[in-house]
Chain A
Amino acid sequence: MFTINPFAELSATIPGGVIQAYVILMILLVIGGTLFDVLHKGSARYFFDNWSRTQARGGRPLGGGKIAALAVQTAAVDVLTSAEFCNQHRRIAHLLTMYGFVIYLVTTLVLVFGGTGVSGLCIFLWYAGALMACAGGFWFWFFIRVDVLAEGHSPFRLVRADLFIVSLLASVTSGILWGAAQSMGGGALAVGFLILYVGASTVLFGSVPWSKFAHMFFKPAAALQKRVEKANGTRRGLPAPADRPGTLGSSRRLPQNY
């Protein structure tokens, strides 16, 4: 199962050019959806307005080098290790989903555009990435999601905020099942999973303006803003950290209502 390229198998029935055109269409949908999202919600304008307000508050001026260093810190810590999450379970689930999805996306591009010369490692990584995304995503979905954990809703209640995670999980899960069915000889089962896979992937990449897909762009911007405000002393109006650590402190504990 982990050695057969399902896209190569598929090209026996559907021309490779059609598969590649579909992938390019998905990339265009993400780019177009993100640009629409940025313009429609005004997230870029909000970021720059906030930046100007921070400067107007009169904090210590930061040089270009310092801001570049903060940007590197943001990328290395807040983005690559999801350090902003206060809940370690959420952080691990997010890292699993994020890296799994990235591996899955990159290897999908290699498998689709790589032709017949794709290495076995790449095929293995496609499955491994999808399984990682499944592990993190289902863990989040059933056990960590805050409307389930903090508000006590059923894990099967669907709201618009679930559009991204549901379509992501449907895409990677049906992708794995389709790959497995392809490696077992195809047939009606493979066709069924392929329809689910294409449908879920189209919803995932086509619903960017309505899902939280665009959070990968505005969250790093917000994290950078936070670091800049901490460095220049404005700290969003927050008081300075206490200079005399007490002896009666405690680590933060998770809410346990349900």
Chain B
Amino acid sequence: MPTFVYMTSCDGCGHCVDICPSDIMHIDTTYRRAFNIEPNMCWECYSCVKACPQNAIDCRGYADFAPLGHSVRVLREEEKGTISWRLRFRDGREKNFVSPIRTTPWGSIPSPAELPRPSDAMLASQELAHEPEALKIEGGLPALTPGRLQPGFREGL
């Protein structure tokens, strides 16, 4: 039962449909409003809750870790680059957090299509894309050689 939509606030814009990683946010065929077609497949990633421009989507947490009476609300403000959380516990306590959405300017991360094609040697390598530069490790990734293993392991190799 995780995410649900306040039908009077939803304007059926489709942002949640676009962003849902489970593809379970869809447009209702009766009222043309968003709804969660398969709540038990929702992993409460909050993507749709954050993406909704009308703040029309809310989330009911599972009762084992979010007892009834709680509230977890989130406000995403793209123009400020911030995301704010308001947690309300069922005993009345409240916690508020604000954090930046990202630390680099929008559009500064190139898409894979904008990067040069990797060489055949790079494709055959065990290293992943942008390794080791992106990990900021000089001289390549550390490799585990048999000489560094404990005697018992070395004999087994």
Contact = CB atoms under 8 A, between A and B. Distances in A.
Interface in B55-87: 55, 71, 73-75, 77-82, 84-86
Residue among B15, B31, B32, B86 with the highest chain A CB neighbour number at 10 A = B32
B1 to A, nearest CB: 18
B85 to A, nearest CB: 6
Contacts of B40: none
How many interface residues does chain A have, given as a range? 35 or more
A226 B56 CA distance: 11
Contact of B103 (A160, A225, A239, A248): A248
A85 B9 CA distance: 11
A12 interface: no
A212 B79 contact: no
Interface stretch (B21-29, B117-125, B134-142, B147-155): B21-29
B82 A246 contact: yes
B92 to A, nearest CB: 11
A160 B17 contact: no
Interface of B: 8-9, 11-15, 17-19, 26-32, 53-55, 71, 73-75, 77-82, 84-86, 88, 96, 98, 100-107
Contacts of A247: 81
Given A86-B11, A252-B78, A161 B31 contact: yes
A162 to B, nearest CB: 8
Given A84-B11, A86-B53, A161-B32, A240 B81 contact: no
A86 B79 contact: no
